[in-house]
Amino acid sequence: ATIPCSAYRSWSNLRIEWKFQKGSSLVLFYYGGELTDPYKNRVQFSPTSITFSSVTREDTGKYICEVVGDNGQIAKSEVNLIVQGAAPPSP
């Protein structure tokens, strides 16, 4: 699954952060140029998107890309990801 960062701008000295929101919890999983656990082994970062090598139902939620320029500019984009598992077998 690839999630685009439509907030990406070609500002100088920009900082990109990715956050994952599920219910009331918010996890910062890409900041300071690094992916955090448990994402670092299954997510590829590029300035314009992130790509999951595998997804589970636990990955369902809102992904927020925030781009901050060195002049204080901020751009933000959000994508809702819904992961549907296989339907349970009928009895």
In a domain, 86, yes or no: no
Give me the CATH number covering residue 23.
2.60.40.10
pLDDT bin (cut points 50, 70, 90) of residue 86 is low
The number of domains in the chain is 1
pLDDT digits 0-9 by tens, 19-67: 999 999 999 999 999 999 889 999 999 999 999 999 999 999 999 999 9
Q: Give the model's pLDDT for residue 85.
A: 77
Residue 91 pLDDT exceeds 70: no
The model carries a pTM of 0.87
Question: SS3 string of the chain?
Answer: CEEECCCCCCCCCCEEEEEEEECCEEEEEEECCEECCCCCCCEEEECCEEEECCCCHHHCEEEEEEEECCCCCEEEEEEEECCCCCCCCCC
Q: Give the model's pLDDT for residue 63.
A: 98
In a domain, 59, yes or no: yes
